[in-house]
Structure 1
Amino acid sequence: MDWKVRAIRGATTASANTKEAIAEAVRELLDDIDQRNELDPEEIISVVFTATADLDAVFPAAIARQRENWDNVPLLDVQQMAVSSSLEKCIRVLIHINTPKPQTEINHSYLRHAKNLRPDWTLAQVANH
């Protein structure tokens, strides 16, 4: 079996800048990525979250850390680059994993208002599931 390092992308939006709204969005996004890719925390190399400047009530990584068996997963939060007219209240994630799956079997998740960021992936995901 030939294992490779792969990356899974995802994004979503929070309904408000509250701990509860951010937690709900992060959990929903990670649940969707997990379901689509059957993640094994032992195979996760690292996870990087970005959040737009209008989200500062809680770190997305603090929410991810609560997931079962994620206590040893390396997590990092950074602020998303501020670009005028970009999507507000947006949380993005980049998950690096070790996997035998080919790149074509890696499924990315774009939820809520973030679906507009990668409509090509969103449509392809719907067609495949």
Structure 2
Amino acid sequence: MIRGVRGATTVKQNEENEMMDNTRKLVQEMISVNDIDVQSISHILISVTKELNAGFPAKSIREMDGWNFVPVMCMQEIDVPGSLPNCIRVMMVINTEQTQEAIRHIFQNEAVRLRPDLAHAEGEQANGS
């Protein structure tokens, strides 16, 4: 079965190393808490807000050991007035037997404001259990 795993993070400034580090940290937590094997990943889509153009966040994923064959694409997020700035969003599409409710979506830094209903502290289930 195909499922999406959502993640988002923010950076403090438009700086390539910060973008790469935060993207890598986000993806690593997404795979850790959902017990994802790289071979089960179909593809990953990454969007960034308009002010983030110092680098391609996908590069940090491609550089992870064993991830060079995972299709990854970056794009610009829709520029909605009042939306969260300096935000990197990740949609990882995986093959899994997990139910929709079992998937744990990860929000880091200021991005926890995007979906407080899904955001959770590390090691905690999204529903609070």
Question: TM (normalized to structure 1)?
Answer: 0.92
Structure 1 runs (4+) greater than 4 angstroms displaced: none
Write the distance in 2 (CA, Å) between the matches of 1:126 and 1:62.
33
Structure 2: runs of 5 or more not aligned: none
Q: Deviations over 1:50-80 (max 9, x none)?
A: 0001111110111110111110001110100
Which amino acid in structure 2 is aligned with residue 70 of structure 1? Answer: W
1:85: which partner in 2? 82
Task: Give the % identical residues.
Answer: 33
* Deviation of the 1:126 alpha carbon: 7.3
Write the distance in 2 (CA, Å) between the matches of 1:85 and 1:101.
35
Which amino acid in structure 2 is aligned with residue 65 of structure 1? Answer: R
Asked if residue 48 in structure 1 is aligned to residue 45 in structure 2, the reply is: yes
1:127: which partner in 2? 128
Write the distance in 1 (CA, Å) between the matches of 2:22 and 2:65.
17
Which amino acid in structure 1 is aligned with residue 41 of structure 2? Answer: I
Write the distance in 1 (CA, Å) between the matches of 2:63 and 2:6.
20
Write the distance in 1 (CA, Å) between the matches of 2:103 and 2:58.
22
118-127 or 66-75: which moved more? 118-127
98-107 or 118-127: which moved more? 118-127
Structure 1: runs of 5 or more not aligned: none
Determine which of 56, 59, 76 is the counterpart of 1:59: 56
Which amino acid in structure 1 is aligned with residue 56 of structure 2? Answer: F
Determine which of 100, 104, 123 is the counterpart of 1:103: 100
Write the distance in 1 (CA, Å) between the matches of 2:72 and 2:112.
24
Of Structure 1 and Structure 2, which has the larger fraction of its residues in helix?
1
Question: TM (normalized to structure 2)?
Answer: 0.92
Write the distance in 2 (CA, Å) between the matches of 1:87 and 1:61.
20
Write the distance in 1 (CA, Å) between the matches of 2:11 and 2:40.
28
* Deviation of the 1:49 alpha carbon: 0.1
1:70: which partner in 2? 67
Write the distance in 2 (CA, Å) between the matches of 1:58 and 1:39.
26
Which amino acid in structure 2 is aligned with residue 60 of structure 1? Answer: P
